[in-house]
Structure formats: structure tokens, C-alpha cells
Amino acid sequence: QKYHNLHSSKSNSILSSTSLDNKPKAAMATLSSLRIQPIFCFIVLLLLPLPPCSADPDPLQDFCVADLKASLSVNGFPCKPASEVTSDDFFFDGLGKEGNTSNIFGATVTGGNVLAFPGLNTLGISMNRVDLAPGGINPPHSHPRSTESGVVIKGKLLVGFVTTGNVFYSKIITAGQMFVIPRGLVHFQQNVGEGKALTFTAFNSHLPGAVVLPLTLFASTPSIPNDVLTKAFQVEDDVINGIKSKFGS
């Protein structure tokens, strides 16, 4: 049940998204046990700049390939000079490789968003590859401002989401079947088949972002105070501490 995320490239392996926010290095330095290491890698990925979005503003030119290293930061990304744009800017190789699912969730999300594929900048769309080992889950999460749709390519998935009225809609689907998750709602995918599962998902944002609930609630830096979590989930401190420890916090 170890968690080893071997993907070294930020563009190739993230759990639905990482974030523009920051890289709290001090916090990371405290992560050292073996059990923690995998989640450490996991967190590193999630700390990369991958903001949530959806219903992106419309483009104002044919394209604006992102200049991810521009000195100035704006809403979205500045554009690479058009004279330097080539056909390669509109194609991306990163979704072809099966993700490593040897981690606590038994799943890996490989992102095809603007951070990995700068040609998507301003175009309001992105796609992810989700690999799941048998029993693996893409844990409950939400995309702050993006609808998600997906097509199962291989395997058998339980896909479900919960509305703001707390109704849980779900179904088990297989290859060729499509699903949709309304914007901002909590959802998950679980591999309920016997073999590996693969699905490609699409988002109406160039950077869908992800609020991965176990990590948001129990692995933030700094931590959400136990007093808030015990009251929210009506449990004792030790339960909260137990969960936090699983995620290295």
C-alpha cells in the first residue's frame, strides 16, 4: 500500500492539478519517514503551479502559446512571441505513457493542461489521463471552476459525484462510455474491475485545478487546526491526528 510516484516531470504526472500558489520549502524539509516519502512526492506535484479554472475568458487572438517563464505574471500566462511559434506548439506527447499507480490511492493523474502543454493557453480546454490499478481511486475532489467529462478507454470504473443538495449520483461504466461531472462538485473514480483501468478526461478550462479533499483537509501547510476538523467531522482529536499522519502532516 506504499505510494511511489515515480513521475519526475511536472508536466507528466499530477493528481488532477497542482497550484500556482507556492512551495513551502520549510514544511517539506520536515517530511522524512519512509511512509511519508511517497506522499511527499505527491505533495510536491500538487504544489506545482496549477490553478483551478473553468469558463475561461475568451481568447483575443488565434492563439497565445503560454510563456511559462515570463517575468510578469498575469491572469493566465503571457504569450510566447508569435514568430517563435511552430506546429509543435499545438501538439503534446505527455498523455501516451501509462502512469505509475504504486501509491496510496492506486491511481495517477497525468495532466494535459497549460502547464504541460503551453499551446492550450487562453483556449479554454485541457485533458487528463487517469490510470487506476485494480481497486485504485482518484479520491474525492472538485475542480474549482471546471466541468469534467471523460471517456473510459479500458477497465471498469465506478464514477460518482455529490450535488450541493447532497444527492449522490453514480454508475459503473466500461470502455467507450462517457460521463460528466458538473462544475465544482465533489466526485471520484474507482477501478472496480479486475484489471487496470484508463480514462481520458476533458475540462472546459486550460488549467482545471483540483481540490483533492484528503489532502486539502488533512495535508495542508500549515495544518487546518484540529479544533475545526473535530467539530466539522464530529470526531475526536486522535482520529484527526491519525488521518493527518497518513498524509505526512
- Please, which residue, 20 or 100, has the CB nearer to a second copy? 20
Number of residues that bind a second copy (CB under 8 A): 146
In this structure, which long-range contacts are made by residues 218-227, counting pairs with CB atoms below 8 Å and at least 24 apart in sequence? 218/243, 218/244, 218/246, 218/247, 218/249, 219/39, 219/43, 219/244, 219/247, 219/248, 219/249, 220/249, 221/24, 221/27, 221/249, 222/27, 223/249
When binding is defined by CB under 8 A, the residue of 94, 102, 134, 241 that contacts a second copy is: 94
- Report whether 143 belongs to an annotated binding site: yes
For a second copy, the binding residue among 4, 10, 97, 196 (CB under 8 A) is 97
Give the sign of the dihedral formed by CA 135, CA 196, CA 170, CA 243: positive
| 151 counts as binding a second copy under rule CB under 8 A | yes
Closest to a second copy by CB, 41 or 50: 50
CB of 32 to a second copy, least distance (A): 18
Tell me phi and psi for residue 230, to 5 degrees: -65, -40
Site membership for a second copy, residue 161 (CB under 8 A)? yes
Beta 107-112 vs 156-162: how paired, if at all? unpaired
- Residue 103 as a binder of a second copy (CB under 8 A): the answer is no
Contacts with a second copy in 119-148 (CB under 8 A)?
Answer: 119-120, 122-127, 129, 135, 137, 139-140, 142-145, 147-148
What the block records as the C-alpha cell of 92 is 503534446
**Between residues 41 and 210, which has the closer beta carbon with respect to a second copy?**
210
* Comparison of 158 and 196: residue with beta carbon closer to a second copy: 158
Any contact of residue 12 with a second copy (CB under 8 A)?
Answer: no
Q: In the window 188-227, what residues touch a second copy (CB under 8 A)? A: 188, 190, 200, 202-207, 209-211, 213-225, 227
**By CB under 8 A, is residue 182 in contact with a second copy?**
yes
Q: Are 79 and 66 in contact (CB under 8 A)?
A: yes
34 makes contact with a second copy (CB under 8 A): no
Our finding on whether 6 is near a second copy (CB under 8 A) is no
Count of CB atoms situated within 10 Å of the CB of 152: 22
Does the footprint of a second copy cover residue 169 (CB under 8 A)? yes
Which residue has cell 467507450? 176
Compute the distance between CA of residue 182 and CA of residue 59 in angstroms, rounded to an integer.
Answer: 23
* 24/195 with CB nearer a second copy: 24
The residue assigned the cell 475561461 is 56
Residues 121, 25: Cα–Cα separation, whole Å: 28
Strand partners, 76: 74
Asked whether residue 206 is marked as a ligand-binding residue, the answer is no
Closest to a second copy by CB, 8 vs 164, is 164
Q: Binding site membership: which residues?
A: 128, 138, 141, 143, 148, 187
